[in-house]
A and B are shown apart, each in its own frame.
Chain A
């Protein structure tokens, strides 16, 4: 009896746990909005709320009349009856694959019927992948190509037909790009194999309203965005390349940098810029503050600090690269990183300067911060105390701050230089500076605009370039 009860309890636990492991989601992509909705299970079938599906696409209303539910979307009408399969849309009768369900004024339709139902109501082509629960309204799919170039320093270049913004995560031997709100689809075979010993394959997977590209590698890699987010380049990190034996992977003296994005090519600064030697150590590491689960400050109801810092960090990288200062982004996507991970990545890359990017909704202009010396800490032999690792580089950081402040002043940007107990500045073993940008004339909604950020990024890069010799002399 007791054994039977234990078995039943175990089965119940497994059922409960498996049910709660992952909520089912449906993603809908359209020219108006890309969004994701919960899928509910009724009568052993997947259902979705029809009003919720249509609301982001246009003007929609639902009205309950006894057992009947009448839906109006723009000029189209549809009528359903609770616990019946028969329905009517645009004066045409049809049957659902399961009963229509009316719950608290909410109309639920079987997920499998959604494609046909939307085609009737919206009147356009609908593409639905039921196993992945991804639905495309119209021709909105984003296609991509992927190829590895360069035998000695291989780079996987992925070109997308529209800008994308995946979440990027790395684990040993893999780099995952998760596309939650991008209508990315595979153009051909879902698995691509490359003739490279370092970047071996890319696998496209779709499930639960998301698409994922998993890149298999044999060395640690970094991903970077260019071309306004339409190109993602995956390449071995400098640390990985340095660790690779020279006889198996000789480094070229100079590798031309990837071409600048088309819209920047017109800029005289970029056009006159020398190519950045890719095999040299990074001169600068730019760290977009926050990211992933950590949103930073809510600058407006819509704008999170993590997005502003990423946009600015990418612009700053362009500006630094265009001045011949090879630059690494600590995060180049919506990734969660701890402060220790940021410091470790930076210290491993051994750059001449580290630039941390923040944004605030209060105040005006740009604020520059160097580390406020922490109390205590003791270095033991060659090992630096983690919390005071910045101490030997304080003068170098001050020099960089002075140079950047002068460049910002020169461009008429209000600038204030302060010290701050702001991690990971104190853990960085090179010149380290944090930049906090604030909105123009108190209008936080313009903080994320490239037009506002671009001249600030250019001035910061000019200030770093002015201090190049001093920074180069002071690097480890």
Chain B
């Protein structure tokens, strides 16, 4: 005669084993189906009210730069505002309906504002390596970045572009990245790029 307590103990042990097995099976199933990795840049969420800004968006159709009003949440700090502006611009370019395609994985790593009046835009390597090659297509990208900053952050007079924190000769074989850009000259260029002639 098997004691009643022993039978109850065995039943509890079997139920526990079955429960653990089911749990382990669910966990394995979940692990074998990972979420697809996002190629979009991950920007820290910005809270607070939105502000009206002007983004200078490049359009391959007609090879134009267009001033585009937008409302985006902006932090208080000047440098952080500059980063948010360029990330908002990049989100347009990385969207499926982008008017000016950038390579997958393109990111703005940082924007540094250095007094007096210098803005340093640090792109990641994927941005430059995956960029299409050509004088105008590269110029549209650079003008879009520089003019968006200049139009929304007062006091910027010069701009410089780095790639992965380092100097690089050109964006994709043409546009010079070795020099400091004169923002006033870029504003003139932006006007030229807003006209088809």
Per-residue interface assignment for chain A, residues 101 to 131, with 1 indicating a CB less than 8 Å from any chain B CB and 0 otherwise: 0000000000000000000000000000000
Q: Are B182 and A360 in contact, CB atoms less than 8 angstroms apart?
A: no
- The segment from A154-162, A187-195, A361-369 that touches chain B is A361-369
When distances are taken between beta carbons in the complex, the residues of chain B under 8 Å from A373 are: 182, 185
Complex Cα distance, B186 from A421, in Å, reads 9
Given A421-B142, A421-B175, A434:B135 Cβ within 8 A = yes
When distances are taken between beta carbons in the complex, the residues of chain A under 8 Å from B178 are: 423
When distances are taken between beta carbons in the complex, the residues of chain B under 8 Å from A361 are: 134
Given A296-B173, A419-B189, A375:B181 Cβ within 8 A = yes
When distances are taken between beta carbons in the complex, the residues of chain A under 8 Å from B172 are: 297
Q: Within the complex, which residue of A339, A362, A416, A417 is in contact with B134, where a contact is CB–CB below 8 Å?
A: A362
Given A374-B180, A422-B175, A362:B186 Cβ within 8 A = no
Q: Does B94 contact A (CB under 8 A)?
A: no
Q: Are A420 and B137 in contact, CB atoms less than 8 angstroms apart?
A: no
Q: Are B136 and A363 in contact, CB atoms less than 8 angstroms apart?
A: yes
When distances are taken between beta carbons in the complex, the residues of chain B under 8 Å from A426 are: 176, 179
Q: Does A298 contact B (CB under 8 A)?
A: yes
Q: Does B35 contact A (CB under 8 A)?
A: no
Q: Are B139 and A418 in contact, CB atoms less than 8 angstroms apart?
A: yes
Instruction: Point out which of B63, B142, B178, B181 has the most chain A C-beta atoms below 10 A from its C-beta.
Output: B63
Complex: chain A residue closest to B139, CB-CB:
A420
Per-residue interface assignment for chain A, residues 254 to 296, with 1 indicating a CB less than 8 Å from any chain B CB and 0 otherwise: 0000000000000000000000000000000000001000101
- Secondary structure call for the A interface: mixed
When distances are taken between beta carbons in the complex, the residues of chain A under 8 Å from B185 are: 372-373, 375, 419
Q: Are A358 and B174 in contact, CB atoms less than 8 angstroms apart?
A: yes
Complex Cα distance, B178 from A423, in Å, reads 9
When distances are taken between beta carbons in the complex, the residues of chain A under 8 Å from B139 are: 418, 420-421
Per-residue interface assignment for chain A, residues 418 to 461, with 1 indicating a CB less than 8 Å from any chain B CB and 0 otherwise: 11111100100000001010000000000000000000000000
Q: Are A416 and B196 in contact, CB atoms less than 8 angstroms apart?
A: yes
Complex Cα distance, B133 from A298, in Å, reads 8
**Number of A-B residue pairs at CB separation under 8 A:** 90
Q: State how many residues of chain A have any CB contact under 8 Å with chain B.
A: 31
When distances are taken between beta carbons in the complex, the residues of chain A under 8 Å from B196 are: 416
Q: Are B173 and A297 in contact, CB atoms less than 8 angstroms apart?
A: yes
Q: Within the complex, which residue of B134, B169, B170, B179 is in contact with A436, where a contact is CB–CB below 8 Å?
A: B134
Complex Cα distance, B136 from A417, in Å, reads 11
Q: How far is the CB of A230 from chain B (nearest CB, A)?
A: 31
Q: How far is the CB of B114 from chain A (nearest CB, A)?
A: 13
Q: Are A297 and B134 in contact, CB atoms less than 8 angstroms apart?
A: yes
Instruction: Point out which of B135, B181, B196, B197 has the most chain A C-beta atoms below 10 A from its C-beta.
Output: B135
When distances are taken between beta carbons in the complex, the residues of chain B under 8 Å from A77 are: none
Q: Are A387 and B179 in contact, CB atoms less than 8 angstroms apart?
A: yes
Complex Cα distance, B195 from A417, in Å, reads 10
Complex: chain B residue closest to A374, CB-CB:
B179
Q: Are B63 and A421 in contact, CB atoms less than 8 angstroms apart?
A: no
When distances are taken between beta carbons in the complex, the residues of chain B under 8 Å from A294 are: 173
Q: How far is the CB of B171 from chain A (nearest CB, A)?
A: 10
> Which A-B residue pairs are the 6 nearest by beta carbons?
A297-B133, A360-B134, A375-B182, A375-B180, A421-B176, A374-B179
- Chain B residues within 8 Å of A, Cβ to Cβ: 60, 63, 132-137, 139, 142, 157-158, 169-170, 172-176, 178-182, 185-186, 188-189, 192-193, 196-197
Sample of 20 A–B contacts (CB below 8 Å): A296-B173, A297-B133, A297-B172, A358-B134, A360-B133, A360-B134, A361-B134, A362-B132, A372-B181, A372-B186, A374-B179, A374-B180, A375-B158, A418-B136, A419-B189, A420-B175, A420-B189, A421-B142, A426-B179, A434-B135
- Chain A residues within 8 Å of B, Cβ to Cβ: 290, 294, 296-298, 305, 339, 358, 360-363, 367, 369, 372-376, 387, 416-423, 426, 434, 436
